[in-house]
Structure 1
Amino acid sequence: MATIIPFRRDHAPSLDPMIKLVAADMNQVNSVILERMQSDVPLIPELAGHLIAGRGKRMRPMLTLACAHLLDYGGARHHKLAACVEFIHTATLLHDDVVDGSNLRRGRRTANLIWGNAASVLVGDFLFSRSFELMVEDGSLRVLKILSGASSIIAQGEVDQLTAQRRIETGEAHYLRIIDAKTAALFAAACRIAAVVAERDAKTEEALDSYGRNLGIAFQLVDDAIDYASDDATMGKDAGDDFRDGKITLPVILAYARGSDADRKFWRDAIEIGKNDDDQLAHATRLLRDSGALADTLARARHYGQLAIDALAGIGGGTARAALVEAVEFAVARTF
């Protein structure tokens, strides 16, 4: 079991310090996003705008901007690259909602529910194309390698997750490989490219990569826990989606490993066969709590969060470093 490392703070952690730090930069990023999602085909900006208007926290592009502040970068390249990161993320969300058959995203109806699966997939492809245009315009082969590599890894992670779906014997190592690819890779790339544009050495690149990667893993672990421990209004999506979709996440892996024969049969029936109505979801949540699976998943999230914070040792300081540290604490402590 991971050790729970308490984050010492006299208030609830928040993204507000990072939002304030990058506010002026985000105005530039938003301008790029609005400009580049335009098309002569009206459906493209309409559908893309629906998802982007949901806003979310814009955590990934903010990480690019905040890491640039941490390194005292004074240029403007990071604006287009942060928009590129957001386009990659938005494209993956459009594709994910089609694959998962989701109805809610950030508390709003998903694009695939409104416009259909084909339109969502194709607009996702459009946004991926826009992201690559922005990479090429930056002119750095190093940036292109990092972001294009992350895009490839994300796609592989999604396919890996699909192949593991409804396979209750999936182990923790396999699960961690999946989330490292489908979630943490973009967090890592978003942070790493700041070191490239700031012309820092390989050691700094690796440190920011480690910060973003560990933050991304912690973020996904919390997501997987609150899928069972929260509600629709809090999460902005349907509670229990992972359970109904037969997704193998760490809480389920831990509960299955610790369960009695009867518990294991329940999990096999629920995940592999699809016996997963509301009563089964309620029973699953009880098993996750009683076995300590939810608590231990959150403990692991705190462990990875601490690794992210440790990665920043010796890099920068002041308000930028404090904002990045609190962003980790927020990611671990959030309930939405």
Structure 2
Amino acid sequence: MPAALPLRTHFIDASPLVYGCMALGGDWNGGPITEGDIAQAHAAIDAALDIGITLFDHADIYRRGKAEAVFGEVLRRNPSLRQRLRLQSKCGIRFADEHHVGRFDLSADWIEASVNGSLQRLGVERLDILLLHRPDALMEPAEIAHAFARLKAAGKVSHLGVSNMHAGQMRWLQSALGEPLVVNQLELSLAKLDAFDAGTTFNDPQAVSRPGAAAWAGTLEYAQQHGVQLQAWGSLAQGRFNDRAASPAAQAVHEIAEAHRTTPNAVLLAWLLRHPAGIQPVIGTGNADRIRACADATRITLSREEWYRLYVTARGQALP
């Protein structure tokens, strides 16, 4: 049985995995990119393409713009690469500075300025997908819809999606849009189970679900019903399961990996791929060998029993 793929999305990308580019571009100090940064980025892009990844995920803030800039330099030196990949970037987070606190900004002016900056750094004319990075408390759906319409009419953005938004926020935003949201990128992993718990423990007042799980009620279901592609950032759980002695869940991950003759990281990705929502895990390592190793996740399929063993063990308590 092949790994789960997106089935009912408005924006179809055949790759089960997404490459997240946050590790590219050197440090976060805003200095110039180096030849070493360019070489690392080129190796990472090649490795991702080698295992069938075609969608590359950026954000205007990654490495303070340097992730997009180094990617753009690789494309400039290798123009044929652009036809082999799709580009996604995010906007809406603004860092603190000497005059302002850190904040979220989904105003039309900031969205359009951010897209123009991303296009300039990437050296391309169009983003295949623009994601709104975080829900801005002051966001106005009609204003966002008008900004997107202007960007699309100018040929700068093809599709719109969101990141870190729950079902209610997607529904509210969608009410003002003339075309469907295509992506929602959430933190989903064996260490971040809120969205899954929201669907399994909602009716049990005795269940001690993870804090905040209730906020995600209906989010996975909304995405499946409305053809919104779910993407999982943090899919490898920041290495929490690397040491098999760290927890019962880590032990289970390693035992299942051994049974499938694969790596623990492949099991973590396969756990997400097994979900019927067709979740696309985002992998963010800058190491080319580790990127290639992730291909194993698409060659295995966890059984229902293995999936639930990992889920329940990671929860740390039985299901109700």
Q: What TM-score do you get using the length of structure 1 for normalisation?
A: 0.28
Q: What TM-score do you get using the length of structure 2 for normalisation?
A: 0.29
Greater strand content: 2
Greater helix content: 1
* Structure possessing the higher relative contact order (Cα contacts under 8 Å, 6 or more residues apart): 1
